[in-house]
Structure 1
Amino acid sequence: MADDCCKAACGTTATLNDPRWRRALWIALGVNAGMFAVEMAAGAAADSRALQADALDFLGDATNYAISLLVAGMALAWRARAALAKGLALIGLGGWVMITAVLAALGGAAPEPELMGIIGALALAANTGVAVMLYRFRTGDANMRSVWICSRNDAIGNIAVMAAALGVFGTGTAWPDLIVAAILALLGISGGIQIVQQARRELRSVAA
């Protein structure tokens, strides 16, 4: 899914220095930081692993946006290194969520589907707005592409959380919640691998 390396590496300096790019990142940072607090509190209240997994993803994205703002305008090598760190963080976060889902499967009551659905819909609206705002920047370098991948994955994850809420409501068990948490973990790992692969290609092109 990664774009051609030359296409990603060439012609991005003007975009990185574009005030619209920086403004979009600041807005995305604020939205994700706020939704992390909301979803973490709701996940604890509803005893939902899927909501907690999505909340951690919001936290990871807020951190990613902060890093992107820090390295915007720097040389490609530094942007690629930042993207590499973000990709590895996504892989690590996905692994942690997967482990917690497996542990939760060994015991625990079903979460509250009503609260899951409400918060999932709120998160979907927030992430869809961010993804639409960042869509124009989706074909930049690894650092810019990582921002787009995070936003896209979040919107998909929110739809999955809402589906999990329906599943918990219909079955009265925690399994739909745990399955969605595992899917979100795999999505994060997959996105992290994409980012790492493109960042490594860019680092090799700089070295060459």
Structure 2
Amino acid sequence: MTACTLCDSAATQAYHQDKQRAYFQCRACSLVFADPVSHLTPEQEKAVYDQHENHVEDEGYRRFLSRLAAPLSVRLPPGPLAGLDFGCGPGPALASMFREQGHQVAVYDPYFAPDTGVLASQYDFVTCTEAIEHFYTPAREWQLLLSLVKPGGWLGLMTKLATDAEAFSRWHYKNDPTHVSFFSRETFRYLAQRDGLTVEFIGNDVIMLRKNQS
């Protein structure tokens, strides 16, 4: 059986099978993940992302992002602060929204903003919206995200949360071939306990994690 791509546990089990790929679930951290043999190549993945039309000034897109931006903003201390939008995509609207509040916000995306120099710093807050489900190696990428957050800082995530196998079988979210890692509330609670974080869930797809001071 394939080891968990997040916590490396060997305690995984078959979870779902469709025409495109197989999915497994980890019994330790509850992550549901697509069989790694089904992952797209970087060129195929980039071709899918190039079809997205998310623009900085698009009001509908900004309203969507405000579901994370608004609750994170009220949790931040007075600024200006240093932030990073990780996985910003071709239209870094969220970074623009926080800059409009007076914060200094860097951006990173392996395809659209690949300056790895920004990954050498730590930030008061890091955002990652609709990106964590794309992580092929979530164990490595999760540790990278944590390393970017200062002690006492915030990590704000947006991703649709997996619930149960029956709902998963009908879930449109899994049909995107670039979606390979499906987190649940149980997964984030596991990570929070393991990594010394506090976790809050806002609605069905926003997760706020705060790093301990020490």
Higher helix share: 1
User: Fold conserved (TM > 0.5)?
Assistant: no
Tell me the TM-score normalized by structure 2: 0.30
Tell me the TM-score normalized by structure 1: 0.30
